Amino acid sequence: MPKITVQHGCAKAQLALVPKVAKVIKITVETPDVKSFRLQMPNGEASFLGEPGQFGIMGIIGSGECVFVISAQGEDWIEFTVKRVGQVTEMLHALSEGDEVFVRGPYGNWWPYEDCRGRDMLFIAGGIGLPPVRSFLQYCLEHRADYGRIDLVYSGSTYDELVFKHQLFDEWKTVDNMGVHVSLYHEDSRWDGEVAYTAPYLEKLAIDPMGSNGEGRVAVICGGPSLYRTGTKELLKEGYAPENVLTTLEMRMKCGIGKCGRCNIGGKFICLDGPVFSLEEVAQMNRDE
Amino acid sequence: MSDIQEAMRSRAKELLESGEVNAVIGWEAGRFENQTTPLITSQAAKTQRLVFNEYCVNNLGKYPRDLTAKGKVAIFARGCESRAIIRLLSDEVIKRENVYIIGIGCPGMRDRTTGELLKKCAECRHGDPVIYDEMLGEPQAKPATQERFAEIQKIEALPRAEREAYFTNAFSKCIRCYACRNVCPCCTCRQCFVDQRREGWLGKQNNIAENRFYGLTRVMHVGDRCIECGECERVCPMDLPLMSLNRKVIYDINNLFGEYETALSLDEPPSALTTYKVDDVEEFM
Amino acid sequence: MIIKKDRMGALLGTLAQHKTVFVPALIDGVSKFAPYREGLDVRFDLHNTKLPPKDLLFPQTQKMYRYGETAEGGHYVEQFDESSERVLFGVRPCDMRSINLLDDVFLTKGFVDEFYEAQRKKLLTVCITCAAPAETCFCESMGLSPNEAPDADILLKSCEDCYKVTAQTQKGEAALADWRDFLEDTQAQVLPGKTSLRLNFEGVPQKLSRMYEDPIWDEISTKCLNCGTCTFVCPTCYCFDISQENKMKEGVRFRCWDSCMFSEYTAMAGWHNPRPTKKERVRNRFMHKLCFFEERYGKTLCVGCGRCVECCPVALDITRLIDDIGASDA
Amino acid sequence: MSMVETTPGAWEPKIVAFCCHWCTYTGADLAGLNRMNYPANVRVLRIPCSGRMNPQYALDALNKGCDGVLVCGCHPGDCHYSTGNYFARRRMLVFKRLLEYQGLEPERFQVRWISGAEAGKFRDTVTEVVEQVRALGPLHLNHELVLSGMEVE
Amino acid sequence: MSRIGVFICYCGSNIAGTVDVEKVAEVARTLPNVVHAETNKYTCSDPGQAGVKAAIEKYNIDRVVMGTCSPRMHELTWRKLLADTPVNPYMLEVANLREQCSWVHKDKEVGTAKAIDLIKMAVAKVDKLSPLKSTQIPVTKRALVVGGGIAGMQAALDIADAGYQVTVVERETSLGGKMVMLDKTFPTMDCSACICTPKMSEVGSHPNITVKSYAEVESVEGYVGNFDVTIREKAKYIDYNLCTGCGACTTKCPTKVINNFEQGMSARPAIYKMFAQAVPAKPVIDAEHCRKIQENKCGACAKICPTGAIHYDDEDKVTTERYGAIVLTTGYQLIDWKPLYPEYGGGKYPDVITGLQFERLVNASGPTEGHILRPSDGKEPKNVVIIKCVGSRDPHKGVAYCSRACCMYGAKHAHQFLDKVPDGRCFVFYMDVRTPGKGYDEFYMNTLQDGAQYLRGRVSKIYKEGDRLVCLGEDTLTSAQIRIEADMVVLETAMVPAEGVDKLGSMLGVTRDKDLWLTEAHAKLRPVETNTAGVFLAGVAQGPKDIPDTVCQAGAAASKVIGLLNHDHLESNPQISRVNEALCQGDGACVNICPYHAITLVQKQFRENSQKITRTVASVNPGLCQGCGACTVTCRAGAMDLLGYTNESLMREVDALCQW
């Protein structure tokens, strides 16, 4: 098995700073404050297709832009999953199907799905951290035979916060050799499952870091700062090798092409070199949080 | 001045060593001749770097804002520092018990390259501290050598078109670095209006219209509370005549609503624009 | 080849007939590169212009594209190209180097910035060496020489009453055709410049990379005002923001200078800010200049022009910081 | 502030009037009820009280293409909210002087107290301001806006 | 994206006459986020409104621009209309196409162009509005009346008769106020006590009224419908449940204290009833002068009390109760003339008395049993000088205003004196004689016929000569120097606000005018309301007036209170100020500028960059804020914003006007 190497600065320029107009062809309400937007280029133009983990920039025409991981894509469409947190996302949430938006990308690096072939996989996500993870998970499921056992540990603070419920509770339950473990941080009247924070839940699940074939399981983790902190600590404690733990880093991004300057962590620009890093790499960074 | 400098060093050392204060705010020498730079230190040993000479051009009065959250600070204060501190106190930005004010009389400061008295010091009417916990040396009672509103009256006397040209030219030079805002003891908003995107007060273009919007709005925001320290004008890399705008508001308040000079004592009345009189000047009938 | 100093005005007049020639000039007490015209107060004798020449290539406000609704109810995007044939005349070696650094930023690493590239291709650079650097100049400590500018298309070496002219690129060679009438084929003694301010930059980037958590950042950041003066006068600072102005259903999206000193710069939706205080912002600025950029491009993002040293309202001096880092035992 | 050559008749001044709901807006309505006539160059922007008038609105209006700004409220002493116009009076006294000081023609920024009964005064004020601004010509403060040159049909 | 519907009204030909309504609608359709625009002959008619509702549903509209007549005419109509639709009633902007456009312009092209601009502005503004919900404020159906004078009693009775509980707080030990001190009331000369005391007992016995005498308001919290009022009832040392009011105690008390009710002209015991008909009709112990309480001696009253009602260890009782409305009827006091007028002896001549002293002298139940006897020697005065406007209309010494009642009671005093002392002479010094009121001037004329001599001018000096008081003055009509040897001088002194009103006013956010009277919300249109919703004024507390005016005003205030208490809930106006706590730095600039005292500073905990910190921020009381927006401009940081007129929406309105 090869060592897992995350590629950096590998984005291929398709659209730099000038966006294309795309049409919103489908809006899925995921939770009260999360919606997914499926975009298609008008005039039958091919949409840009990203690698799993890459992101795009979607903007309101006449207003600002925001960075989103491409949470799903098809032949001629891409989808972004957007949580309402600020002014631009508020406007995005006000969009209707048929409206047009600006889109550019894809930017950033991607999950090292090639290097992971043959491994067992553990996906860990919290709240709105699932869309980036899902892009990788989805790839694994599409190439099911190439990967070993797959586990997903997903948690949210409320039932409402859980995204992609249909897949969580129906679709993925039927996948061969896959475990879906969902927990809530707090009791909820609509929830009779596990109530636990992610780290204790991981401890309880005790998913073997070596994997079934002993090659070392790959863990992919994405969530808020505290989930990241406690989750990675737990993984290391359980014996996961830092190079086998993958994550995405978040900074404020603007240009998406490594020029405008704001998203650097040390010498790395998250928009260009990242957002995917292994824990081994993160450990070597000088980080602002 | 060298006596004062010695006294400063020993008082600062005492205060830090006794634990009475967490940090001391003063000046130290810069790399170049006659250059000084603010010194903010918590280390007793570093107090020996403190200097006081005719080139201590920085008004240190805004620093307590960032520092008092972590405990009490001592600050060497001339007139401008002391008034800045009053400004911060009356705007409830800092608490009196968190700042120990060591007064120093000020003879006026000089430009390091020309050696001339700084414009702000020539205009200064309160060189000696107006509030302090202790005083080092004697008050200097330096009189202002420049009439307080001379500059305003000079500009007012210009024909309108010339005034327009003068200020348009000034605003055209502004690079919107916001040094004037950041150095100003009156500018203590948690988020400045220029950064408020939702309201969209002004955009991010650099052009005369937007620069003017920024400049005039800032004057309306701080003019009635301005302590006339002149730091905005000193720090402006483009040398804009910023005090001639601020002081215009003060001048008008002075003429319209009665003698007005803020931040001279802790129990000053509310700013002239947050109060009124039923029989104020009436021009709008 | 030399050109006499008293022939410079005539040369500029000729060149300005075909292209916009930016020359260092004093306008309203502010020195900057301005398009040459009759009566302009051209100053080749200034140490450094107060404002750097970066805004020729990377304007403070740059329109990128316009957009709006089409007749059919869809939207259009239309890119601007406002580039034009320009000559940057009389730039100093430090500023010349800064353009080289900006080239790295905008033209390499995956994406090419189309707006920068368009203007860069249409720019001819004419550099004048520094016979008498200012007291704040420290380019020699940053690996530059006041007497050389390898990236310039044309180099003018300062002599007593003339400049020695050398074309250093093909583009420069071709451009010299327009100069023919003003050049003389005589020898002249070049006046070498020397910076008085010397720093030991040796090992500083390496030390810095180990100093992320050093208390030095607390110390120097407390006096910083977090204004954008240093970044705006810096010839190499290139951070930008993207914004727009709308007129009903149409609008223009533009980019404009931003500053890593502003708290707004990194604030994310919902008020989280990865660089919440002055400390993080000051640290990022200096580490970016002296360390991060080096890791990424193998060059230091400071050319030693001394503008920030001159302009900083609180005399927060990068040269002292370099000294302090050099002296630290990290 | 600078005059631009225009063909006569092509340009009409554009003036925004910030009017308090309780007095001036009512006065303007009364002018309508009485079928008074005044130039159509004024657009009334309703605010609850002249105390709500933020100088920044006026700066924005002048920056973005209004040729003049009029601020109107109840007569001092008659404020629906007791004191709003007293504060407004102080603020506007200072602001108007500041604008004029930095070069704006005094006619381009005016303040008037107009009560709900003073329909005639509203008409006269509007007419006067429009004519004064017309005499001054267009105001061009928006130098080099990125939008300049973009015309919307 | 918002979905804006634009509805433009022809208003018959009112708008359509000078505005091309169809053209306006056509342009409206091209504006950003406008999904539908239509015109209507009469939008306010039933079919017109039905059309709006149908369009809202059909086009899924979420905010509405009405291009109609003035919002002053129909804004509420449209709000009500929207309340029946999914659109929030505050997602509405009215473009005034009639009063401010079609009716004032003649040229159709010009009118149409302006109408288009007005629609653009409205579209831009409405695009930035957010839905607002008025909150329901419950109303506590009880009223508090502060002051038990004639104003307070009248208001209390009117409110109580309407079926609401009322508490009357009276500072003195009895209801009655100043009126009960008076002898007769002009111009009818009916006995004041005869008409006042029945009111007192009615109040005292009304099932809906609770009287808290010897009590003061200590603090007030809350807002309209919900004032939490803390009242301190001073210790009376007598258990009113046991006391029968027999009065035995008052006869046994050995202590003598100056009787204030009799204006200092007699003495009362330390355990006393203010006057015979006092309500409550039970005594209190004046602790300050009681020897038992002060020195633990005596105890005579407890010994004689047949019911054991006296408790020397009684304490003040502090209670807090909630009221829906408050009426302030705090009345007045007479100006202390003594330090102001040394030329009148400054108080050293006992026979220079005030009008109120004269009332007691002439009153049958007063210290002289109604005989006019001068205080110094008990002799009947033959020459009496009455001086009006002592303190009033005298900005240099007293107050600038006219006390309004003095002309009439001066005439009354002259009349009463001449009536009781048939051989007496009465001189009245006056500045003007003001007698507007039913029967007033006739009364004055009668007094002249009685023989009162009116002299126009002020008395410049009074001094003693023998046992007479020499008054020097000038008759300004004849320019004659006047010298009158008087036996007694009556000063008709100015009314000034009762003591402690300043404190009460600031507790309630009721301001005081330049003369320190409590200020009504509007001098003409809201004369009994104050700037604090739910707080009303009546009687002299608002400014000097006579009894009929006071009673009128009390009735008016009561009707306002009844109107308020009649609601179970109040709809709060949701267009009020809101604090953006992230921006607020808590410097309190807004606090001082708010005319309604609706803003307070509070300490709050926040999470900022993963740290918990406590900061001071402003907080707006939605029950008090009236939505003027003054605070929003004072706040440099823009932390204060006015819902419905937000900075963002107004800025976009300006932008639309300029750039669209």
User: Residue E660: what pLDDT?
Assistant: 79
Residue C68 lies in a domain: no
The parent domain of residue C294 ranges over 200-330
- Interface residues of A toward E, Cβ cutoff 8 Å, are 62, 91, 94-96, 99, 225, 289
Domain boundary among C148, C168, C198: C198
Contact residues, chain D, for C248 at CB < 8 Å? 152
pLDDT at A49 over 90: no
DSSP-derived secondary structure for A205-265: H---TT-TTSS--EEEEE--HHHHHHHHHHHHHHT--GGGEEEE-----SSSSS-SSTTEE
Same domain, C140 and C277: no
Same domain, B40 and B62: yes
Same domain, A45 and A89: yes
Most C CBs within 10 A among B27, B28, B31, B231, hence the mutation to make, goes to B31
User: Do C229 and B179 contact (CB within 8 A), yes or no?
Assistant: yes
Q: C251 vs A258: CB contact, 8 Å cut-off?
A: no
DSSP-derived secondary structure for A84-110: --SHHHHHHHT--TT-EEEEEEEES--
Same domain, A102 and A152: no
In whole angstroms, give the CA distance from residue E30 to residue E32: 7
- Interface residues of C toward B, Cβ cutoff 8 Å, are 28-30, 50-51, 60-61, 135-136, 197, 219, 222-223, 225-229, 231-233, 241, 243, 245, 254, 256-259, 262-264, 278, 309, 311, 313-317, 319-320
Kindly report, residue by residue over B238-271, the tens digit of the pLDDT.
999 999 999 999 999 999 999 999 999 998 888 9
- A178-184 vs A65-73, strand pairing mode: unpaired
Chain B nearest-CA distance from A135, in A, is: 32
What are the tokens at A61?
């025409």
Same domain, C189 and C279: no
Residue A236 lies in a domain: yes
Chain C nearest-CA distance from D146, in A, is: 7
Residue C93 lies in a domain: yes
What are the tokens at E460?
């410049």
Kindly report, residue by residue over C229-274, the tens digit of the pLDDT.
999 999 999 999 999 988 888 899 999 999 999 988 888 766 678 8
- Interface residues of A toward C, Cβ cutoff 8 Å, are 9-13, 16-21, 42, 61-66, 85-89, 100, 102, 251-252, 254-255, 257-262, 264, 266-268, 272, 286, 288-289
| Per-residue pLDDT band at E622 (split at 50, 70, 90) | confident
User: Residue E285: what pLDDT?
Assistant: 95
Same domain, A89 and A157: no
Same domain, B109 and B15: yes
User: Do A42 and A114 contact (CB within 8 A), yes or no?
Assistant: no
Kindly report, residue by residue over A194-231, the tens digit of the pLDDT.
999 999 999 988 888 888 888 889 999 998 888 888 99
Contact residues, chain A, for B198 at CB < 8 Å? 87
SS3 E317: strand
In whole angstroms, give the CA distance from residue E215 to residue E196: 21
DSSP-derived secondary structure for E431-497: S-----STTHHHHHHHHHHHTPEEEES-EEEEEEETTEEEEEEEETTTTEEEEEEESEEEEEEPEEE
User: Residue C270: what pLDDT?
Assistant: 64
| Per-residue pLDDT band at E476 (split at 50, 70, 90) | very high
Same domain, B97 and B182: no
If phi over 0 gives left and psi between -120 and 50 gives alpha, with beta otherwise, what is residue E12?
left
By CB neighbour count within 10 A (0-12 exposed, 13-18 middle, 19+ buried), where does D17 fall?
buried
- Interface residues of A toward B, Cβ cutoff 8 Å, are 64, 87
Contact residues, chain C, for B114 at CB < 8 Å? none
The parent domain of residue B218 ranges over 150-274
Same domain, A56 and A130: no
Kindly report, residue by residue over B122-159, the tens digit of the pLDDT.
999 999 999 999 999 999 888 888 899 999 999 999 99
User: Do E522 and E529 contact (CB within 8 A), yes or no?
Assistant: yes
- C20-27 vs E215-223, strand pairing mode: unpaired
pLDDT at E346 over 70: yes
Do A and D touch, counting CB pairs below 8 Å (3 needed)?
Answer: no
Range 597-616 of E in CB contact (< 8 A) with A = 610
What are the tokens at C105?
């930023």
Q: Chain E contact for B193, CB < 8 A? A: yes
Kindly report, residue by residue over A131-187, the tens digit of the pLDDT.
999 999 999 999 999 999 999 999 998 999 999 999 999 999 888 899 999 999 998
Domain boundary among C198, C231, C260: C198
Q: Which domains does chain D have, with CATH numbers?
A: 15-136 (3.40.50.960)
Do B and E touch, counting CB pairs below 8 Å (3 needed)?
Answer: yes
- At residue C297, φ and ψ (nearest 5 deg) are -115, -5
Residue A15 lies in a domain: no
Kindly report, residue by residue over D53-82, the tens digit of the pLDDT.
999 999 999 998 899 999 999 999 888 888
Same domain, B154 and B102: no
Same domain, A242 and A203: yes
Quick one: what percent of chain B has pLDDT higher than 90? 85
In whole angstroms, give the CA distance from residue C116 to residue C120: 6
Chain A nearest-CA distance from C213, in A, is: 8
SS3 A30: strand
Same domain, C243 and C122: no
In whole angstroms, give the CA distance from residue E140 to residue E226: 6
Do D and B touch, counting CB pairs below 8 Å (3 needed)?
Answer: yes
Of C238, C269, C274, the CB nearest to A289: C274
What are the tokens at C54?
């970066």
Same domain, C194 and C204: no
Quick one: what percent of chain E has pLDDT higher than 90? 88
Kindly report, residue by residue over E540-570, the tens digit of the pLDDT.
999 999 999 999 999 999 999 999 999 999 8
Q: C245 vs D152: CB contact, 8 Å cut-off?
A: no
Same domain, C159 and C224: no
User: Do C127 and C91 contact (CB within 8 A), yes or no?
Assistant: yes
Measured between CA atoms, the residue of chain B closest to residue C315 is B37
Q: B284 vs D105: CB contact, 8 Å cut-off?
A: no
Same domain, A150 and A201: yes
The parent domain of residue A151 ranges over 121-248
pLDDT at B72 over 80: yes
Same domain, C189 and C263: no
Residue C69 lies in a domain: no
Subunits in contact with chain B (3 or more CB pairs closer than 8 Å)? A, C, D, E
Task: Of E90, E102, E27, give the one whose Cα is nearest residue E62.
Answer: E90
Same domain, A103 and A127: no
CB atoms within 10 A of CB C170: 9
Q: E637 vs B193: CB contact, 8 Å cut-off?
A: yes
Per-residue pLDDT, averaged over B158-185, amounts to 94
Kindly calculate the radius of gyration of chain E based on its CA atoms and give it in whole angstroms: 32
Q: Specify the number of domains making up chain A.
A: 2
Same domain, B31 and B68: yes
pLDDT at B55 over 90: yes
Residue B281 lies in a domain: no
| Per-residue pLDDT band at D1 (split at 50, 70, 90) | very low
Task: Of E116, E121, E117, give the one whose Cα is nearest residue E23.
Answer: E116
Chain B nearest-CA distance from A60, in A, is: 14
In whole angstroms, give the CA distance from residue C23 to residue C42: 7
Same domain, B198 and B85: no
User: Do E204 and E211 contact (CB within 8 A), yes or no?
Assistant: yes
Dihedral sign, CA of E431, E433, E436, E438? Answer: positive
Domain boundary among C155, C178, C198: C198
Same domain, B132 and B156: no
Residue A93 lies in a domain: yes
User: Residue E445: what pLDDT?
Assistant: 95
Token pair 């030390």 is found at C207
pLDDT at D153 over 70: no
User: Residue C266: what pLDDT?
Assistant: 85
Same domain, C20 and C132: yes
Q: Which domains does chain E have, with CATH numbers?
A: 4-127 (3.40.50), 143-229+319-331+534-569 (3.50.50.60), 235-315 (3.30.70.20), 332-496 (3.50.50.60), 577-643 (3.30.70.20)
SS3 A172: helix
Same domain, C135 and C228: no
By CB neighbour count within 10 A (0-12 exposed, 13-18 middle, 19+ buried), where does A63 fall?
middle
Range 216-255 of C in CB contact (< 8 A) with E = 246-249
Q: Specify the number of domains making up chain C.
A: 2
Fill in the amino acid letter for E112: T
Per-residue pLDDT, averaged over E467-476, amounts to 93
Domain boundary among B111, B136, B161: B136
Q: Chain B contact for D93, CB < 8 A? A: yes
Same domain, B264 and B229: yes
CB atoms within 10 A of CB C213: 10
Measured between CA atoms, the residue of chain E closest to residue C249 is E32
Residue A167 lies in a domain: yes
Which residues, including other chains, have CB under 8 Å from residue C303's CB and lie 6 or more apart?
C94, C95, C97, C98, C101, C139, C142, C144, C235, C236
CB atoms within 10 A of CB B117: 19
DSSP H/E element including A121:
strand A121-126
Same domain, A127 and A103: no
CATH number of the domain bearing residue A212 = 3.40.50.80
In whole angstroms, give the CA distance from residue C198 to residue C135: 10
User: Do B64 and B25 contact (CB within 8 A), yes or no?
Assistant: yes
**pTM greater than 0.95:** no
pLDDT at D7 over 60: no
- C61-69 vs C162-167, strand pairing mode: unpaired
Q: Specify the number of domains making up chain B.
A: 2
